[in-house]
C-alpha cells in the first residue's frame, strides 16, 4: 500500500508468456478509476491459472451462493485477511482464452478483455472494503464494473461512442 496511492503490479507467470503487455495495460486501466475506489488495495498479481498447483486449480470458490470451479474463473479478489491488505489476482491465460491472436492486436479489444475482469474484481474491493452494502456480491461487483468501464470509454474511447450507440440501436431491432 504505497503512500502515493500507487498500486504495485506484479507479474508471476509459470511456463507462460502473455500475448500482450498486460502490466502496462493494467496500469493504464487503473488511471481511469477514481482514487477513492482504489484505497487500501495492495497489489495486482498477473499470473496464469495453468501454472498454479493442481490442488489450487481444482479448488472451488463461491459465486452467487453456488460453488464454481476455480478453473472457470478469470480473476480473484482476496479480501483483507489476518492483517494482510486486500489484493487482486488476474489469470491472463483464462482472460485471453477465447480471443484469437489477431483480435488481441487491436488495443480496444485487448484493453477491454482485461478491463472486464479487473473492474469486476475492483468492484468486489469497493463493495467489501470501501462501500459495503447488503446486496448480492456478484451483482454489486458487476455494477461497479459497468461504472468503471463507462468512465474508461468516456475518457479514452470517446470517439467510439457514436459507433457503440449505433451498434446498440441495431441490436434492439
Ligand atoms: Zn466476482
Phi-psi region of 63 (alpha: psi -120 to 50; beta: other; left: phi over 0): beta
64-90 tens-digit pLDDT: 566 666 667 899 999 998 889 999 999
Task: Work out the number of other CB atoms within 10 angstroms of the CB of residue 122.
Answer: 25
* CA 36–ligand 1 middle distance (angstroms): 20
How much is the pTM? Answer: 0.87
Residue 70 CA to ligand 1 centre (angstroms): 12
Cell 475518457 maps to which residue?
155
Can you give the pLDDT at residue 1? 43
Given a cut of 50, whether residue 2 has pLDDT beyond it is no
Sorted by where each begins, the domain ranges of the chain are: 8-172
Distance 105 CA to ligand 1 centre (A): 27
What's the angle, vertex CA 171, arms to CA 170 and CA 173, rounded to 5?
Answer: 70
CATH number for 8-172: choose from 1.10.520, 1.10.287, 3.40.390, 1.10.760: 3.40.390
172 Cα–ligand 1 center, Å:
28
DSSP secondary structure letter of residue 130: I
- Name the grid cell of 75: 480473476
Quote the ligand 1 centre to 13 CA distance (angstroms).
Answer: 22
CA of 64 to the centre of ligand 1 (A): 8
- Dump pLDDT digits (tens) for 123-167: 999 999 999 999 999 999 999 999 999 999 999 988 888 887 887
Spatial distance between the Cα atoms of 41 and 43, rounded to a whole number of angstroms: 6
| Cα-to-centroid distance, 32 and ligand 1 (Å) | 21
Helices 137-156 and 161-172 pack at an angle, to 10 degrees, of: 130
How far apart are the CA of 82 and the centre of ligand 1, in A? 21
Q: Calculate how far, in angstroms, residue 63's C-alpha sits from the geometric centre of ligand 1.
A: 7
Amino acid at each position: 500500500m504505497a503512500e502515493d496511492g500507487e498500486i504495485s503490479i506484479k507479474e508471476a507467470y509459470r511456463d507462460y508468456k502473455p500475448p500482450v503487455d498486460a502490466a502496462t495495460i493494467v496500469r493504464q486501466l487503473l488511471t481511469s478509476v477514481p482514487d477513492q475506489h482504489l484505497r487500501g488495495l495492495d497489489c495486482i498479481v498477473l499470473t496464469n491459472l495453468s501454472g498454479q498447483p493442481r490442488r489450487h486449480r481444482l479448488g472451488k470458490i463461491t459465486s452467487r451462493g453456488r460453488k464454481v470451479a476455480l478453473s472457470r474463473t478469470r480473476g480473484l479478489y482476496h479480501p483483507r485477511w489476518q492483517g494482510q491488505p486486500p489484493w487482486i489476482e488476474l489469470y491472463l491465460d483464462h482472460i485471453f482464452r477465447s480471443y484469437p491472436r489477431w483480435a488481441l492486436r487491436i488495443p480496444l479489444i485487448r484493453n477491454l478483455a482485461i478491463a472486464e475482469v479487473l473492474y469486476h474484481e475492483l468492484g468486489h474491493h469497493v463493495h467489501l472494503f470501501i462501500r459495503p452494502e447488503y446486496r448480492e456480491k456478484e451483482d454489486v461487483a458487476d455494477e461497479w464494473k459497468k461504472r468503471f468501464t463507462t468512465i474508461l470509454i468516456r475518457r479514452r474511447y470517446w470517439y467510439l461512442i457514436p459507433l457503440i450507440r449505433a451498434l446498440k440501436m441495431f441490436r434492439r431491432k
